[in-house]
Structure 1
């Protein structure tokens, strides 16, 4: 017990990484339990169409956010000036101005989006929902500094309190309004609470408006590739919702999003852990610098990939009965969607720990090459699969596209000295076994979904 406790004590990199990993996993677990409880309540208060409508809104809001991302967070995390007050003030000024600009763009685009998806209500909802972008633009740089130095205790606590606030407000508003507006206003409330708590309880530099030319030049030079990367990242991560939102009826699209919500737990956990930990780890212990650094990262990879594959396997095996137990019959089709999506996430889990190595080294250009390749292949594969096989084809195209992208991931990882073929081969074999067993156990459901696509 003392040895375990000692791992979490001190200010060295390993102790900070262990504490941050524990907090990230614990915070994510609490967050997902809260989201699940909220989801179960809201699905009984609202109709599937409300979840489909909100999914379209969130795709649009996230698209605006990512199409304008200039990499303020990663820049602060990797820059040598990441603790310089003038650098931080300039970064915060850019971030705040961007939030206001995004709201204006959302207001202008609301009408065309309503026409594109044939949903007139989007014209009223989008400008209101986009207020969250203005609010988030004023989040303090102390949030990025906490990630830079792997000091995530207060951030995790604030995130949980924020989510509880948003969920309570969503449930109350859903009960009172029986409308998708409950989800819109609850997101605004949670963003306001989060902003207040960040400013009050996070310690460190106090932001103010300032424009220092060298800092702005560094941020913009680093951020130009981050901007392009996040555009590509949005297309990659939201390709399913963009295409399925136009292809499926709104109620079936809502059911798909319930299935995606359940199946994405392990992968979202992996993304949360790797994005918060890997830039500091790669920055302070570059894998190409020594065999000891590479060995330490290999241990981390095996632990992370093993845990995520275990989580995916559970969902792949119990997806159907889980959905039938948690939801009423309107959402039961989500079960087989959980099974397939969980299986198709295996290739992404295998390569999850590689791309942040480029950002840690300040090589945002190669990071963009990978992001762009993923976006093109994923969009192309999903579009063709939808046209040829319908929903079932789109679901399977997720895993097929990631397998095709693997050589580009290897190219990037080798440039950074991070590629670990032993890790990849081990989890490819284990993952293939999980996929084969899960699909065999649920084959009747797969056939039924294919027939209805």
Structure 2
């Protein structure tokens, strides 16, 4: 038995590399989230809820800059036939460096307007300093993408864990020493700098140099123009709740919301990490349209991914209120009901999240953009209607409605790529609905209290 398992994990075949990479990704994610949770618990005792609300605004702004300027360097390297060519890689790296410089300058220029919009003068100081992380990240070596392209993630995973440890450890130490939100800002810079230095020194591969090859630039721009538009939409899809809720609620309530979202988002983050790192290489090397055998192999993979993720998100939906009550003090109790509701609302997205990477693997970034646009419009629209109608509860219900309403577009893309699996979707949709009803029934008192609070 042990010999058979070892044989499946060893070797250089696609399945062996995929298995090793999946185990490393899941293990890394588990350690990373446990570290984040531990650090978060300590930080909530060293800082006040307003600090988390303020830092959430900074994070949303910086993430918006990143996604509003993403030209798809990483997915381009993963899917391109020239993904191992030195001229192509150096041109991609040069583009990435120029983008990082531009992002930091933009963060400096927009600090004052953002401070006025959110009526938070401290943003004028935080945004330019926190934006330095974007400048530093622009110099990250493409050898990180090369390792991902070939599903050789062992050393990359260890370095990611080291980066996470530096970030959380420095945040806790600085918060203990200063009691200020500056601890969260500076720790972000330290972890990004550590990531750059560690990956530059410890990963195998050639050193990047400035290069601007016309052919490589043309391929990157042609592929990246739709990725750029997709990531703009992806920003509103993934951060629209924070943009709108941060504007409608006080910083204290927004901080409570972010604690609840932090707990409920573990399964979604894990699923996104697995699909981004593993699926593009698998779709590229074993296209499902090529043979029925490839399609059935991918079906097994989807069942193996979706089942555990759905059970994991259900565990947070069932135990969310209890977890918050156990780990946080009375200032954050309302976050328990938020955790339960968000976890239930995320189940439709867990079911279908293995489809969209097929478009990137096929080089069809335009279809990927169509899905991203539909999701963004639905997310912003549903949350805005919910906020205007029922406040925070309405926003949470709108969050789930956006996932459900985007399903027809997901099916369109999946059929276009030849990867749609209705059997998979039906089985897990029924399971997800049953688990969500169970979680709501078990946590109904906490949900009712949140509704009664008028949040």
Name the TM-score, length of structure 2 as normaliser. Answer: 0.99
Find the residue that maps to 1:268 and give its secondary structure. helix
Work out the CA distance in 2 between the residues paired with 1:60 and 1:401.
22
Q: How does 1:380-419 map to 2 (within 5 A)?
A: 380-419=381-420
- Which residue does the alignment assign to 1:377? 378
Q: Does 1:344 pair with 2:339? A: no
Work out the CA distance in 1 between the residues paired with 2:242 and 2:85.
40
Work out the CA distance in 2 between the residues paired with 1:191 and 1:110.
21
- Which residue does the alignment assign to 2:257? 256
- Which residue does the alignment assign to 1:191? 192
- Which residue does the alignment assign to 1:12? 13
- Which residue does the alignment assign to 1:117? 118
Work out the CA distance in 1 between the residues paired with 2:452 and 2:117.
28
- Which residue does the alignment assign to 1:217? 218
- The one-character-per-residue Cα deviations of 1:64-105 (angstroms, maximum 9, x if unpaired) are 000000000000000000000000000000000100110001
Work out the CA distance in 2 between the residues paired with 1:398 and 1:249.
20
Find the residue that maps to 1:205 and give its secondary structure. coil
Work out the CA distance in 2 between the residues paired with 1:171 and 1:370.
39
User: What is the CA distance between 1:279 and its match in structure 2?
Assistant: 0.4
Work out the CA distance in 1 between the residues paired with 2:192 and 2:60.
17
Q: How does 1:8-407 map to 2 (within 5 A)?
A: 8-407=9-408
User: What is the CA distance between 1:450 and its match in structure 2?
Assistant: 1.5
Find the residue that maps to 1:383 and give its secondary structure. helix
Work out the CA distance in 2 between the residues paired with 1:377 and 1:170.
35
Work out the CA distance in 1 between the residues paired with 2:94 and 2:6.
41
| Structure 1 residue ranges without an equivalent (≥5) | none
Work out the CA distance in 1 between the residues paired with 2:295 and 2:389.
44
Work out the CA distance in 2 between the residues paired with 1:426 and 1:312.
16
Work out the CA distance in 1 between the residues paired with 2:354 and 2:257.
28
The Cα RMSD (Å) is 0.6
User: What is the CA distance between 1:451 and its match in structure 2?
Assistant: 2.1
Work out the CA distance in 1 between the residues paired with 2:64 and 2:219.
25
- The one-character-per-residue Cα deviations of 1:114-159 (angstroms, maximum 9, x if unpaired) are 0000100001000000000001000000011011000101111001
- The one-character-per-residue Cα deviations of 1:411-436 (angstroms, maximum 9, x if unpaired) are 00001110000000000000000111
Task: After superposing the two structures, state which structure 1 stretch, 393-402 or 219-228, moved more.
Answer: 393-402
Work out the CA distance in 2 between the residues paired with 1:205 and 1:145.
11
Work out the CA distance in 2 between the residues paired with 1:171 and 1:443.
35
Work out the CA distance in 1 between the residues paired with 2:70 and 2:334.
36
User: What is the CA distance between 1:445 and its match in structure 2?
Assistant: 1.7
Find the residue that maps to 2:406 and give its secondary structure. helix
| Structure 2 residue ranges without an equivalent (≥5) | none
User: What is the CA distance between 1:399 and its match in structure 2?
Assistant: 1.4
Work out the CA distance in 2 between the residues paired with 1:41 and 1:57.
21
- The one-character-per-residue Cα deviations of 1:4-36 (angstroms, maximum 9, x if unpaired) are 111110001000000000100000001001001
Work out the CA distance in 2 between the residues paired with 1:46 and 1:233.
31
- Which residue does the alignment assign to 1:433? 434
User: What is the CA distance between 1:48 and its match in structure 2?
Assistant: 0.4
Work out the CA distance in 1 between the residues paired with 2:390 and 2:352.
27
- The one-character-per-residue Cα deviations of 1:146-203 (angstroms, maximum 9, x if unpaired) are 1100010111100111111111111111011111000000000010111000000110
User: What is the CA distance between 1:205 and its match in structure 2?
Assistant: 2.4
Work out the CA distance in 2 between the residues paired with 1:69 and 1:197.
24
Work out the CA distance in 1 between the residues paired with 2:144 and 2:303.
29
Find the residue that maps to 1:449 and give its secondary structure. helix
Work out the CA distance in 1 between the residues paired with 2:371 and 2:327.
38
Work out the CA distance in 2 between the residues paired with 1:52 and 1:369.
32
Work out the CA distance in 2 between the residues paired with 1:441 and 1:36.
24
